[in-house]
Amino acid sequence: MSPPELHGFDQDKVPSRTLPMLESSGFRLSVKELATVFGIDSARFGALSTRFVVPVLEGSHEKYNDTKDWYDVNGWLYIVEPTAWVPQVSHGRTLPLSEFRGEYRMETRTINETKFNASTAAAVEIEAGGAYMGITASTRSTKDMTFEVSKSSTVDEANEGRGPWGQHHALELFVYPTLKCKIVKKQRMSYRINDVASELEWSKDSAQSGWWDERYVNAGGLGPLKNLVWHPVPLYGSDEKDGLPEKGWMLAVPHNAPNGDIDVTTLLSRYAWHNYFWYDVPWETVTDGQTITLAVPNNSIAFQPAATWAVLDRSDRNGCGCGQ
């Protein structure tokens, strides 16, 4: 047994395509309303790689005895196909239109990101025009976000009596980018790492002679693919140190497959080790339509988180609702 060849990946052989935008989740806005209120024009979105890898992992800690202090990591790696942008919209305050008849001074609002990403499985950052090597996956953030709350044109138009607005209040609305993805393949992840001794294991057979030698991978031969490493390993847990993420290294090495698809070889390493070892648990093909939703607050191809005041027309909830 030995690891597959781990060089020669060509990201240009993985197709990219532009994705549709669906109506929002949370507070419902149609695609046309999203364009009117936030200026989001899905026709301008850039293309995105049709494959990338996302880890959804959880860490835990158990002290087995006085000398073996083990941290466990369990979950899945997913090879996904992105299918649609889904704006997550939240409603904040409601104010009468009279509040906006003078000079409007832009406000700053600080809101914890979990208000927008709690229903997502993980997060990705998209750079480099949406190509494979420009996509970085991580855990969803629990930090505060700062918004500058603008005023959309619908507020002024309503105050001036233009458009069939049908109400006399402005709504504070927030938008946050998420990405719906189809799961193509998945790999079960289950390993443990020791904080006292320099150990890492995922198989009961690892103590056998030659087991580690068969799975050895020289880090020097990985070239630019080393840039795809996850370190610290992105983990969820009841404590930020569960799973010992800062002492683990995980690398999902892509390989070109027929018809623009990819296969992946997963490598693991740990603090004080200078090379990698092949995590040889097989990948499973997913055929039942499983999906996950990812938070994408940092991306260079679609839209960014934003906040604005807007007036919506209650009389047309199936259409734009922002005037025709």
Over 80: is that where the pLDDT of 1 sits? Answer: no
pLDDT at 323: 43
Distance CA 59, CA 71 (A): 7
* Torsion, CA 283, CA 287, CA 288, CA 292, rounded to 10: 60
Contact partners, residue 313, CB within 8 Å, separation at least 6: 163, 164, 165, 166, 167, 320, 321, 322, 323
Over 60: is that where the pLDDT of 106 sits? Answer: yes
Write out the E strands in the chain: 16-17, 25-26, 48-49, 52-63, 69-96, 107-112, 122-126, 135-138, 144-151, 169-194, 200-201, 216-217, 248-256, 262-270, 276-278, 283-285, 291-295, 306-310
Q: Between 171 and 207, where is the model more confident? A: 171
By CB neighbour count within 10 A (0-12 exposed, 13-18 middle, 19+ buried), where does 34 fall? buried
Distance CA 298, CA 127 (A): 8
Mean pLDDT for the chain overall: 91
Instruction: Give pLDDT tens digits for 115-159.
Output: 999 999 999 999 989 999 999 999 999 999 999 999 999 898 888
Q: Between 69 and 20, where is the model more confident? A: 20
pTM of the entire predicted model = 0.92
pLDDT band at 167 (very low <50, low <70, confident <90, very high): low
Instruction: Let me know how long the chain is.
Output: 324
Sign of CA dihedral 186, 235, 61, 199: positive
Over 50: is that where the pLDDT of 47 sits? Answer: yes
Distance CA 153, CA 171 (A): 13
What is the average per-residue pLDDT within 263-284?
95
What is the percentage of the chain residues whose pLDDT exceeds 70? 92
What is the average per-residue pLDDT within 259-280?
95
* DSSP symbol at 9: -
pLDDT at 318: 47
pLDDT at 68: 65
pLDDT at 70: 85
- What element of type H or E holds 37? helix 31-38
pLDDT at 156: 87
pLDDT at 240: 63
What is the average per-residue pLDDT within 282-311?
97
pLDDT at 194: 86
What is the average per-residue pLDDT within 237-254?
87
User: In one letter, which amino acid is 129?
Assistant: G
By CB neighbour count within 10 A (0-12 exposed, 13-18 middle, 19+ buried), where does 298 fall? middle
Distance CA 321, CA 276 (A): 56
What is the average per-residue pLDDT within 61-68?
67
pLDDT at 139: 95
Taking 3-state DSSP, the helix, strand and coil percentages for the chain, each rounded to the nearest 5, stand at 15, 40, 40
Over 50: is that where the pLDDT of 321 sits? Answer: no
Closest CA to 164 of 15, 317, 318, 313: 313
